[in-house]
Structure formats: structure tokens, C-alpha cells
Amino acid sequence: MQQINWVPNSFRLTYFVRRQIESGPAPFLESIFYEWARIYCRISNRDRDVMNTKFLIRIIKWLLFPWRMFRLIAGYLPNWLVSRHYLHKGPATLLRFSIYTMVFLPLSLFLIIELSICVNEMIIGQQADYRLVSDGFADYPEGSFPQLGPPVPEIPPMDRNSADREAFYQYLVELYSPVIFQKIANHPEWDMPVFIDFDGNMNPRDNLDSKISSNDLHIGIYGEVTAETNDSFYLTYSLYHLKDYDHPIREYLSTACYHDGDNEGFHLRVDKKSMQVMEVETWFHNIFLLYNRTGESSGTEPIQGPIYLENGTHPVVYAQSWGHGIRLIQKADIKNVKKNVKVMRFMGSRPEVSPEINCKYEDNITYRLKNFDDWYLQADGPFDQDGGVRGTSLFSCEIPADCLKNGQQIKVGRFIAGTNYKKNTWVRPKPMWSWDDPWDDIGIAVWHFFPSMSIESHSGIRLSHQYLYNRPIEKIFHSTVDEMMPCFCFGKQQLHQYPFADVGVFKAGSCRVGQILYWAALSKWFKLYVSHVSGALG
């Protein structure tokens, strides 16, 4: 195989492609893959992997491009048919081309994709099935997620009737604190959850300028009892990361796939009678994922999977690298959580253990807990221009809301401020009250300000909306739930309709039912595989 040095010159590139095409399909595809591997390794800042490129090419020659088998089947068979006078040279050439395009080209592409997924996992550190994983509920009552690392320390019990409600709420936050499986990729420093003020101030614009080292990094998770109703406690947890980043090649091609600052998390409902976690709802990029104990939902959200708890109260959570989407971990993740992962638990009375800033597996990391009061202090402004050099505010832009009865305009920040002011709104980091799922039927800010309404809408469970306590409403607006609820329960979104929902596949009297089913099955397989490739390669 001919090798050339990569030079970004249109004439040389044209000459290279022309020479390779003229030399045949095998050397051409091998050369293209060779150049792709070199660029990939260069962008990934993993120079040592360039040394393995020749080894990869050997694999490609003997595995991905089974040309000897191709010559045996697509070469020997047509020639044998011609020698036997069954075919002329023209039909034999057509047969050879058909075998190549229908069998060996798809086979080669499939093997290239699968090898790329494996290489991507080794170099970048991202697992192939990183998007949505579910165990189902077949063996959920008997199964539990295996404990990796030391358990969360025992939380000293506290009387729920204590007069010090703030202390009791803090006890609940610690009692239900999550076990975080944080996936690590090619920028470990950006995959470590920290407090926004880890650098000494609440201005998020300068966070990326701070140097991260293993010696002084304190892992921080935000958590609070957001609300209490007649029948439930609602707790919210959030992970703030310094940067939402992406696959190096996608970052090279587009600036819209990453931004400074990131904030994703989840909230859970605790039944007041049993004090058990009944539902957990996570924020996964731009959608909510609902988990419960039964696998049943009569609301607008399907159930993604069961809830696994450590010590009976601590939900086990999976946090992605790169975009840091949050979902609950499943037993199907076991094969992928023992590498490129930091397992983090609430510190409690234990000594603090900080992670190493690398991709090494560690299962004994501790984190600190802090509530959102610093966020609530700035939630209603002022709002500096996002990306402004002299900006100091925590938030930018405003969520549109109705006015109060006295005519006062309600203001609450929509985005976490940063230097990404030129980016589209959907890629900018958001506080919890700005998480808005376009596929549900509740308005923006309802999920965090009135969690009973969102859980009831998503799960279909009848819940109490009589609030005994609501932290964000009290801290931000210094008002009551009854007064503020009408201002945010507006503009309910329309559910998206699936375009093929009304196609009559099983329509009576149709003689094409079988054929339609075959095409439907093939189409479903193709879409699933495309989703698999998209998920595995980012």
C-alpha cells in the first residue's frame, strides 16, 4: 500500500484520490482509512496511537477487506461459468460486480464501522452503548446492582418531626445522596463535577481558565430538598462540569457541539409513608428519563428502567463523559463501568478522597454536598450579556413568564452565563428550572418549581399539589406556590406525533401484509443499527 504525508492541498489530494482509485478499490479504501486514522490520532492528542496505524492497516487488509475470498467467489465462479460456456464475459463481469456491491462492499463497510467503534472506545474512552440502556423489570425484585468500592457511610438518623426543618431536609439530602458512576473520556478535567465557585467566585465565565490538578480538586454535587407536599418529598441533585465537549473530530468540524459550562442532574420522589424512592427522573441532554419500581406508566413519559439503590436509599446514577447526560445505571452497564470510570459517593464522616485527573478506574472517590441557595440569589437577575468580557452574573437571558397580580414582571435566568454567546440556544448550559423537554406537555420551569405536577404528568400517578415547603419559590420570589403557579403553568406543548403511527400494517383484506412486515422489520433493524453507530461514535 502506498503511503503519503498528509498535506492539506487540494491539488495533491485530488492527485492522491485519482491514483488510488486507478489502483483499485482495495488499496484506495485502505489508504483512505490510513489517512483517517492519522488525522483521528492527531486530533485526539494521542500521538502514541499513530505508531499502531500500520498494525491497524494489517487488520484492515486481512479482516475488513477479505479480497482473497472475494477473488475466490466473485472471480473464480464467473470465470468457471465462462469456461463451461454457461456465461459470456459480459454477463460474467456483471455477476462479479453484483457480488461485490451486494455482498463484499456492505460486509467491508460493516466491519469498518465495528472496528471504528472499538478504536473509538480505546482512544476516546467512550463505550459503544452509551446512550440509553435498560434492564427491564423481569428480574428486578430479585436483582440488585453489584457494589463497587466502599459503601456510602451510615447517615445518623433524625426524627422527621424535628422542629429544625432545615436540618431534617439536610439529613434527607445526605440519606438519598446518589452514587455517581462518572464516565471519563479524553479530557478528564472536564468530566469532574465541581461547584461553580470552586475557583473562589460565582462567575462561570472564568472557570475554564482555572488549572485543575489532582491534589486540590474537591468533587462537588449540588443537592437539596426542593419541595414537600402532603404525600411526598422531592429532592433535586445536579452535576456542574466545566465544559460540555464532544468527539474531537466533531469539534474540529463544528463549534456548535460544545460549550463552556454544563449542568445536568435529576430529581427523585420519596413517599412520605414508606420513605422509599418511588420515582427518579433524570435530565438527559434535552429530554427527561423516568424510572420507577413497577415499570408501568400511564402518563406522557415511558419508563426507561428500574431504580437500583445502594443501602436502600442511595440511587445509583450514570453520568456520561463529553455531554454529561444523566441516567440511572442498569445491570447491562456492568461490562462498561470498570474502565474509564470514577465512582463517587457522599463523603459523610469519611476523609475526603480526590480523583486523579486521568482515565484510570477509581471506585473510592468522595464528594461534598451543597444546596442551590447561591443560584437562587442570582436567579432573578441582573443578567449581563452572555459572553460579555466584564460580565459577572451567574445567568443570562430570561424565561418568559406572566406578570404577578400587581403587574410586576417575573424574571428568572434561562442560561448559565458563559463565553458561548454566539451559539444556538439549545447547546447552552441551563439551570434546573430551564430544563425543558419538547416531548412532554408541561411548560418551562414547571419541572423544578412544581415537581409534583411534572411527576404526575409524566407518570400518570395522582399526587398531592398541596405544598408544605417549596425552596426555589421561597428563595427566588419570596412568595407562595399558590401565587406563582399560574405564572409558569403556561404554554403547554403539543405532543409530537409519530409520522407512521396510523399506517395500517395489519389492515384487513390487504394481500401485502407479509411484504410490509418484512420491510418494516428490515427498516427497524437498519434504524436500530444507525442509532447504535450514532451512539457509539458520538
Angstrom distance (rounded) from CA 20 to CA 30:
9
Eight-state DSSP code of residue 277: E
CB contact set of 441 (below 8 Å; sequence gap of 6+): 300, 457, 492, 493, 494, 495
Average pLDDT value for the chain: 78
Angstrom distance (rounded) from CA 122 to CA 310:
30
Contact 339, 181 (CB under 8 A): no
| Beta strand 467-470 pairing with 220-229 | antiparallel
Confidence of residue 5 (pLDDT cuts 50, 70, 90): very low
Angstrom distance (rounded) from CA 344 to CA 367:
6
**Could you report the per-residue pLDDT of 392-447, keeping only the tens digit for each?**
889 988 887 777 767 777 889 999 988 766 555 556 889 999 999 887 888 889 99
Q: What is the pLDDT of residue 345?
A: 97
Q: What is the pLDDT of residue 102?
A: 76
CB contact set of 487 (below 8 Å; sequence gap of 6+): 401, 402, 403, 404, 410
| Beta strand 341-346 pairing with 179-183 | antiparallel
Contact 321, 125 (CB under 8 A): yes
Q: Which three cell numbers stand for residue 116?
A: 471504528
> Beta partners for 249?
none
Least confident of 7-21, 93-107, 312-326: 7-21
CB contact set of 42 (below 8 Å; sequence gap of 6+): 50
Report CA Rg, the chain: 28
Contact 161, 325 (CB under 8 A): no
First to last CA, the chain: 30
For the chain, the farthest-separated pair of C-alpha atoms sits apart, in whole angstroms, at 99
Contacts 24+ apart (CB under 8 A), 27-32: 27/1, 27/2, 29/65, 29/108, 30/1, 30/57, 30/60, 30/61, 30/65, 31/1, 31/2, 31/3
Please give the single-letter amino acid code of residue 538: G
Question: In a 3-state reduction of DSSP, which class is residue 382?
Answer: coil
Residue 208 has pLDDT above 80, yes or no: yes
Given the C-alpha cell 447552552, which residue does it identify? Answer: 428
Mean pLDDT of 52-70: 56
- Is the pLDDT higher at 506 or at 8? 8
- Is the pLDDT higher at 305 or at 87? 305
Angstrom distance (rounded) from CA 481 to CA 136:
37
CA proximity to 266, closest of 317, 331, 322, 313: 317
